[in-house]
Structure formats: structure tokens, C-alpha cells
Structure 1
Amino acid sequence: MIKVSFAAFFLIYAEAMNWDVPDFHLDVCDFLEDYGPLGLLMMPRGHGKSTILDIYNAWKLYCSNEHLILHQAATDKDAAKASRGTEQVVEKHPLCQLFGVHKARGELQKWWISGSSDVRHGSIHARGVLSNVTGARANEIQNDDVEMPSNIGTPEAREKLRYRLSEQTHILIPGGQKLFVGTPHTHDSLYTQIQKLGARCMILRMFEKEKRFENVTECLSDFDPVYIFSGISNTARLLKRDQDYFVHKLGAAFKIMFKETHYLIDLYSESLWPERFTDTEMDKRRKECRTLNEWDSQYQMHAKPVGDVRLDPDKMIPYECEPFLRRANGKYIMMLGDRQIVGLTMRWDPSSGKLKSDISSVALVLHDDFGVKYWHRSVALTGEVVTHDAHGNITGGQVWQLCDLIEQFNVPSLTIETNGIGNFAPAALKGALKARRIRCGVKEQHNTGNKNKRILEALEGPLMSGLLWVHTSVIDTPEEGENSSRQYKNMRMFNPAITEQPDDDLDSLAGAVTDSPERIGKIHRQNEANESPNWRTNGGEVEAALDFD
């Protein structure tokens, strides 16, 4: 048998099938031939990923009839497609026909190549990632598009997927390889975690260079755009050069001027496969993508959910100054930079006594007289709710930590959500305040309505209006193994359709935002009303004498 490289094996099959092979397919072949113990291949939709993987599997079996491949996809049905595709390549490839390499026995889910001596584990074993493969063994495990909306839609589903993937560690024969192939479908993408594990990566995007602008009539770019899209979904349009826009070179930059204002503009360089993805095809796909996230994740490999993000944390405006007290006109005022703070609200959402809640969350929000809300602190209290010394005096616990915050920011009153914990937390906090000699009002709130609806009503409006600011302390505390803070991650992943999800920080923030009345801002009080002319007729003035005698 003649041993050949995978690139040569691929080209021989492509010639037999009369295919035109783009250059990047050969780059993928070189990557797959030597990706090491852990590899990650990400390619845009429609660029031949599955076809290349079928040919790769056939090549591995051609090179060694003792090689065992466990191919896992999102479902059994999806995995079966790869099994069927590999079987077809083995049947049709000229080298396999020449040297008698063929399927010897087995069914679609598990089959053996000719010459295989293993009687238990198939040369190809194709199963869904959530199926039971505990007794399997493999030299190579492939995870092909295992991250899909159907299995990452809830925290429980994401945890189940990661548990199933962890089982592969015990299935893989020592010295074996593990390959992940796919496109991201969420901010908390599995493929981001694989990169952090040190995988050898090959990430191909439809467009190598990209820039995005909002509400523009002109913009600057560091590359000469080949494609410019306006809008997304049914408003999407591929703009035409020298017709919808004009490009002028300014030194090393390019100035793009549009004939009209566009609410969203995407600039891109040449595409990865221009012969296949023509202007007409890309225009059609742009229109068929329901959201920007879907386009960005499936074609540009950005870790984003396919659907819309209802609470986008990137819309919050960051700041880093601290409030301070100043005495003016015989009274104290609180300032945050050059803004006067006219309200301060704090909401504590204890976790004790609640099912499926692990964060005792506190949110501190400042309010100025322009109607801006400043998310100044988001703290997860830890430990027991309250601790006592031998004499029964309160000396610690979550209420003690809360007293530190109250004292630091001169909080006049706070609200405690009593769902689950009853009256225990308010009583414990009042005891701690008395022990610390701190004057602060304690309100109790029992919520009975839909929590997701309450969060959306409180936060979505300020977010969209630019009235929700966030302190850097909330941003700059990423969780272990994550790129962003717990609060940011929870906002991005928030799904109003899901009942149980990590939302304690959002619930406490929503309460703190709505605990203060809305203000229209002093700027409005300085404007005179524009009085319209009174165009209505009247009866004039009439004098009448009244006689009550």
C-alpha cells in the first residue's frame, strides 16, 4: 500500500469527483494531518467542513486498518451523516479501490474496515454527543458541531454537554487525539474553552478583515473594503461601489462616504471562497440571517448566541470615579464626578432558603438628577447569614459584610427581598446595624410576579436609552476561566423564556433601579414651553347685569 499525505489523498479524490479545490482546503488538509493531541477547526457555514472531514476519516482508515474513530455530533442523526459520508469515500476513492480497502461489516452507527482485528469497537463509531458511549474506545475522538442551540439553550443543558464531553477523557486510548470542529452558538462557547486548554487551532473566517459602524454617513477604515453590507435580515443590502458609496484614499486609511445615512454598516475584505460565495449568494445569506449575532457567529466565528441578546452589557457606559460628600449652603450633597447624586438605592437578594440559587447578591445603584442610573457595586455576600460570639452578640456573617457597604457609602435605606428566607434576614440585619451603631432603614419586599418580566421592565429601557452606567469594579472581576465578569456573562446569557437561570445579580439590580422614582432631569426644567397660537374662536367680551332681588 502506498502511503500518501492527506493533501494528496484529498486531491486524488477531488480529481476523481471533478471538483475545483480552493487553496484554503489544502491548508485545512495540512492542519488535520498534524493537529496534535487536541485540535480545533472552525470554518464558516457552507465551506466544505463536513466533506473534508469525511475524506479525512477515509484517509485515516486507509493508512491504518486498526485506527478507531469515535465521531460525535449533536445528535445520532447528524453523526450518521458523517458515517455515511466516510463510507462513500472509502467505496469511491481510487486508492482504496486499488488496494482493496473497503467496509467489511457493520451498520451505519458502527462499522469495521477491511483488515481490522478489533471485534468490539468499530473503525467508525458514530453517535450523538448526548448518547451513551461509556464502553467505547478510540484512538481519535471527533466532536463535529456538538454545540448547537438545542443543547446549550439552558444552564442545565450546557452543563450536561460539558459532562458528556468530559467522559471522552476515559474513552480515549492513551496517546490518542481529540478534534473539535464547528461554529460558536453562544458567548459562553465550548470552543473558547478549548482554545484556553491549549488546542492547536485553525480558525477561518469568511472575511479576514472587518469593521462595523452605526448611524453613519461616512467612516474611516484601515483597509479598502471589497464588500459593504447595510443592515441585517430583511433590511440587509449589499451596497455597490461608486453607486451607493464612494471610497477615497487618505494616506494609509480609506474614507468611505455614503449617499445616505445607514443605521448599520459592515465593511469586509475579500471573502475566503469568492468563486463559490458570489455577491448574489452573500446578499441572500445576509438577508436570511435573522440577527447580527447569527451572522457574526456562523460566518465570522465570533462567540455569540445565534439569537438576539435582550440585555446587552456592552450598551452600559463604564466609569471609574467614586462618590464623595461635599458641604454646600449649610447641607451635605453627594457628588459623582461633576454629577450630583440625588438618590441611592441598595437591594439585597439573599440566596438562603431559595431553591436553585447560589449567590446572595447585593446591588448598589446611584441616581443623578438627569435620570441616569449608576450600577456602582455588585457584591456576592458569602458565608453564613449571621454569626454570633459566645455571648450571643452578632460578630459576622453576610449581614456584617452588608453593614460594611452601608457604612462605606452612607446608605440611608435598603430593600431586602424576603422570598424564601422569610423575616430572618431583615431581623438579622437590623441586629447587625444596631451592633454597629449604624442608622439605616430596612424595607422588606416580597415579589410574586414573573421575575424575568420584572428584570426586563427594569433594565431594558435604561440600557437601550444609554441611562445605565456601570462602575469598573463590576466589569473588572472576571470569573475563573472566563473572559468577562459574572454579571456581564449573566446579562448576555439572559433568556426571558427560561425560568431557571443565573440571574441573582440581575434581580437585585432590577430592584435597586426601580426602588428610586424616575426623574426627568433638571435640563428639562430650564426650557420654556413653546406655546402654540390660539386659533380657536371665542364669543368676545359681554357685560351682563345681575339682579338677585
Structure 2
Amino acid sequence: MAELLPIRSVPPEVARGVSLVEFVRFWNQRQNLGLPALHREILAWLEQSWLDGKRELLLLVFRDAGKSTLVGLFAAWLLLRDPGLRILVLAAEQALARKMVRNVKRIIERHPLTISLRPMRRDQWAADQFTVQRAKEWRDPSMLARGLNGNITGCRADIVLCDDVEVPATCETPAKREELRARLAEIDYVLVPEGTQLYIGTPHSYYSIYALEPRREINEDAPFLAGFQRLVLPVLDEQGESRWPERFPRERLEVIRRRTGPARFAAQMLLQPTSAENGRLDPNMIAGYRDDLKVEVLSGERLCIEIGGRRMVSASCWWDPSFGSPRKGDGSVIAAVFADGEGGYWLHRIEWLQQDPRDPTDAATQLCRQAAQFAKALYLPAIRLETNGLGKFLPGLLRRALAEAECGTGVIECTSRKAKAVRILEAFDTVLAAGALKAHDSVAQTPFFSEMREWRPGRQGRSSLGRDDGLDAVAGCLLSEPVRLGMLPSRPGRPNWRLGGETHVAASDFEP
């Protein structure tokens, strides 16, 4: 590449035609910095995307790669080409957004090619916003900084730069992730037609806004940034070599991996959407299956139930009742786990029961009727009802609902004496380690797997982060003794499917 000409020999109209790479290289030379191949690749992508008219862009680059600095230079280059542009910077916090604006302001002040952009009035040169010399009279400044919680109503922008809007503080819980998506949806009311959105960051959650695949368990039909042009540059390339070996040799990467842990390294350096913290319960250790119950009448009242060609010998059902909605308070979750004769567990169904406020029937009866239909559909011999708190008022109502449903299912009242986190660990640790738990595909449509990824055991047996209602219900199933035929009588006319427990009259050859 030829040496840049002295700035005094570059007329303003020629300066506006300088490529982005040359613009940055000229700046770096004055800062005694080089231009690594990684940065040239990013700059070439940004410039070509802009020239090609691509207006929805996502730049994912590993931590400490200088991506925000490069995007700041990109913003200054855009203002050099068109001083009439209005750029809005959104970040997780106002301070982060101001940092980006301050960086661009400093570039315009000191870069020889942008001297003509400096305004005449000092009031147009603030820390969180500035306006360059331009022919157009806009109400909005050339560049404006806003945190996600800041007010952007009434703003208009040609370009919105979303710089690290996803950080732990904005994505560590389902409520925060929902709020993040809602705030980012406001961009559509700020951006002018044919305006540009550019996201820059790294994933901090399995449910990241940057995820390439939709997360069905949070009701995503498409990725949040579906249709965006992506440049994804993890620290290791396709051959497993460092993309910036001068700054990140393999030895340093191994040190970072050891110090931060594999989960955080995968998220921040390899750009794999996963929780930045190591979770205790790994959903990837649960195999999925699609098979439904296969019910076959053998003889008399005996049934044979199979899943995936395996005969089931027992089943457990646990219901931890609650009147809270799934979004507020505890969820009312009922789960059913079948067991085969080889020590395998099959999580076949889990449901979050909800009351309908429009139904004149009282909430408790509504929930009991839903639980009864759940048990009837799966031929469950009994429902274990947790009677801590609310549950102590429900056994009678539940028995009446089961009788109305004519399903012959019994009710076993249970009281939990151990802390919830302790029960969850005792139930899942060994089963997951042995690979003995499978889950029906319908389970993936519920919050269950999300709870597994988010759950952290806290102190004194409490959960430190995330919901655990579904985990608690399945843990109750796994810890329950299998309910077999002999424990509760079946209702007349209700076929049995479990082994053993029938009445048998033996022949004898003596007189009483």
C-alpha cells in the first residue's frame, strides 16, 4: 500500500473520497499504531456494506478486539462523507454511550481530514452530543448518546449504533431480556426510512439478541436480528488459529480460558450464545424424543404403555400449586415422569397451569380440573400434591375434580422439608450424570430448559438466580417412589397398565 500523501496536499473534496481503511490507517499512523489484518477485515466489511446499501448490520467480534474504536472511526468517516447525517448511539448505560460519542468527537478534533467539520460555536460541542459544520438545519445533533433507559422519544436518526446494548445487567434474567427487546424495538420509531442499524457486541446469554437460531422456549419464531447482515469473528478462526496472534497468542488465550472459565470464554471470545456463568444443570445432557404414549390393552383391565419401544413400569406426577401467574409470583406447575425397567426416566409432560379470570369458577377449582385432565390424558395412577402453604387446602378439591373426570387417579399429600435448591440438586445431579433422563419434544416449548440454564444454587438451599418452579416439579417426580398398582385401587372400568398388584386366586387341593 502506497504511503499517504501529506494532509496539506489533500483537498477537502478529495478527503471525502478517502476509503475507510485509508482514513483509519492515516489516523493510526499519527497515533503510532499499526493496522492489523483483523481490523482491515472489519473496516472493509463496514465500508462495503455501507456502499452496497445494506442497512441492517451486526458486528460480533471477541472481547478487547477494538471493535468499538473502529466503529467510532467509521462514524467519523461517515460524517466526513456526509456532514448532514444524524447518528444516535445506544448503549446499556449512558456512560458507555457517552464514551463512544466522546471518542468520535476527539477523532474529528484531531484527524487532519476532518478539521473542516469542527463547529464554530462551543455549545454545539458537548460531551454527550455534538453537531458538525453542515449545510442542513436539523433539530437533532450530528451525534447523540443515550443509555437504554434514556428518553429517545422525539429523536430522529439516519444511523443508530447499538454499542454493547447486551451486557449482564440487561440480560441476566428473563424480565431484563424482555425489557431489552422492548427498548430496542423503539428504534423503529426513531430511525428514518432507509436508515441504518448497526449492532456491535458479544453475546452474554444463551437467549442473546445476537443468537442465530430462534429460542423456541421463549416463544421466538425467528431470531431477534433476523435478516441482519452479519460479520462474526471469534478469536479462533476455522483452523483453530488466533485471528490476532500478536495480541492474543495461544498461550494468552489458554490463560484467559483458565481464569474466566469455559462458559465465559465461549461466550465472550468464541461468540457462542451461552450463559457467561457455568450452570449447574446442563440441558444438553437430556436427550429428546418425539414418541407419544403407545397404549395397548392386553387382557381384562391390564394395559401396556410404551414410549419409544420401551415398556413403562411406573410413573410419578408432582404438582406444586400456586395462584400466581407465570410472570408474577410462583408458577403452578405439574409434571409427569415415566420410568422404564432399565432405569431410564422419561419426562413426558410438564405444564404451567393458569387460571382464567373470565371463568366464573373459582381459581382453585379451575386448577384442580386442569390437573385432573393432565392425569387422565397420561393414565397416571396418582398425583403427588405438595401441601406446603396453598396446597393444604386443595386435596379435597383435587379428589373431587379427579372423580368428576372419572380417571381413577389418587391423591398423595406430600410435605417438602428440605430447601428447594437441595431437592433440585439431589434429584438432578445423579440422573443427569448418568444420562438417564429424556424429555419429550413438547418440554422444549415450555420454560423448563430455560430454568435449567438460568438456575444457580445459592446459600442455605435457596436459588440465587432464575425461576425454578418447573425444576421443583420435575425434582419431585424424580425423588418420588414409583406409584405402582398395588398402592391405590383402580376405579372400576379403568384399565391398568402397570406390572403386578392384581388379585389372584390360587387353586388348592385341601378342604378348609
Q: Structure 1 length normalisation: TM-score?
A: 0.71
Q: Deviations over 1:199-253 (max 9, x none)?
A: 11111122233xxxxxxxxxxxxxxxxxxxxxxxxxxxxxxxxxxxxxxxxxxxx
Q: CA deviation at 1:39?
A: 1.3
Question: Residue 361 of structure 1 aligns to which amino acid in structure 2?
Answer: V
- 1:25-44 correspondence to structure 2 within 5 Å: 25-33=39-47, 34=49, 36-44=54-62
2:164 and 2:154 map into 1 onto residues whose CA distance is 22
Check 1:318–1:100 CA distance in 2 against 1; reply closer, same or farther (3 A cut): closer
Q: Deviations over 1:504-542 (max 9, x none)?
A: 322221221122279xxxxxxxxxxxxxxxxxxxxxxxx
- The structure whose residues are more often strand, as a share, is 1
Question: Residue 376 of structure 1 aligns to which amino acid in structure 2?
Answer: H
1:508 and 1:116 map into 2 onto residues whose CA distance is 65
SS at match of 2:453: helix
Question: Residue 415 of structure 1 aligns to which amino acid in structure 2?
Answer: R
2:117 and 2:382 map into 1 onto residues whose CA distance is 82
Report the counterpart of residue 104 of structure 2 in structure 1: 86
1:289 aligned to which of 260, 263, 268: 260
Question: Residue 270 of structure 1 aligns to which amino acid in structure 2?
Answer: E
Report the counterpart of residue 490 of structure 1 in structure 2: 451
1:67 aligns with 2:85: yes
Question: Residue 112 of structure 2 aligns to which amino acid in structure 1?
Answer: P
How many pairs are equivalent? Answer: 445
1:397 and 1:40 map into 2 onto residues whose CA distance is 47
Report the counterpart of residue 344 of structure 1 in structure 2: 315
1:377 aligned to which of 349, 352, 355: 349
1:280 aligns with 2:240: no
Question: Residue 202 of structure 1 aligns to which amino acid in structure 2?
Answer: L
1:300 aligns with 2:261: no
1:463 aligned to which of 425, 432, 440: 432
User: Does the 8 Å CA contact 1:50/1:82 hold for their aligned counterparts?
Assistant: yes
Check 1:204–1:339 CA distance in 2 against 1; reply closer, same or farther (3 A cut): same
Report the counterpart of residue 494 of structure 2 in structure 1: none
2:402 aligned to which of 420, 433, 437: 433
Q: CA deviation at 1:185?
A: 0.5
User: Does the 8 Å CA contact 1:103/1:112 hold for their aligned counterparts?
Assistant: no
1:177 and 1:398 map into 2 onto residues whose CA distance is 49
Q: CA deviation at 1:81?
A: 1.9
Measured on the aligned residues, the alpha-carbon RMSD in Å equals 3.5
1:12 aligned to which of 26, 29, 41: 26
Check 1:75–1:333 CA distance in 2 against 1; reply closer, same or farther (3 A cut): same
Question: Residue 61 of structure 1 aligns to which amino acid in structure 2?
Answer: L
1:177 aligns with 2:177: no
Question: Residue 348 of structure 2 aligns to which amino acid in structure 1?
Answer: H
Question: Residue 383 of structure 2 aligns to which amino acid in structure 1?
Answer: L
1:425 and 1:385 map into 2 onto residues whose CA distance is 19
Report the counterpart of residue 197 of structure 1 in structure 2: 226
2:117 and 2:466 map into 1 onto residues whose CA distance is 55
Report the counterpart of residue 218 of structure 1 in structure 2: none
Q: CA deviation at 1:284?
A: 2.6
Report the counterpart of residue 207 of structure 1 in structure 2: 236
Q: Structure 2 length normalisation: TM-score?
A: 0.76
Check 1:383–1:54 CA distance in 2 against 1; reply closer, same or farther (3 A cut): same
1:62 and 1:56 map into 2 onto residues whose CA distance is 10
Aligned-residue identity in percent: 30
1:133 aligns with 2:152: yes
Report the counterpart of residue 73 of structure 2 in structure 1: 55
- 1:379-398 correspondence to structure 2 within 5 Å: 379-381=351-353, 384=356
What runs of 5+ residues in structure 1 fail to find an aligned partner? 210-267, 390-395, 478-484, 519-549
2:264 and 2:443 map into 1 onto residues whose CA distance is 28
SS at match of 1:113: coil
2:320 and 2:237 map into 1 onto residues whose CA distance is 45
User: Does the 8 Å CA contact 1:361/1:379 hold for their aligned counterparts?
Assistant: yes
SS at match of 1:167: helix
Check 1:438–1:341 CA distance in 2 against 1; reply closer, same or farther (3 A cut): same
Q: CA deviation at 1:495?
A: 3.6
Question: Residue 138 of structure 1 aligns to which amino acid in structure 2?
Answer: A
Q: CA deviation at 1:345?
A: 0.6
Q: CA deviation at 1:269?
A: 2.0
Check 1:172–1:445 CA distance in 2 against 1; reply closer, same or farther (3 A cut): farther
Check 1:104–1:464 CA distance in 2 against 1; reply closer, same or farther (3 A cut): farther
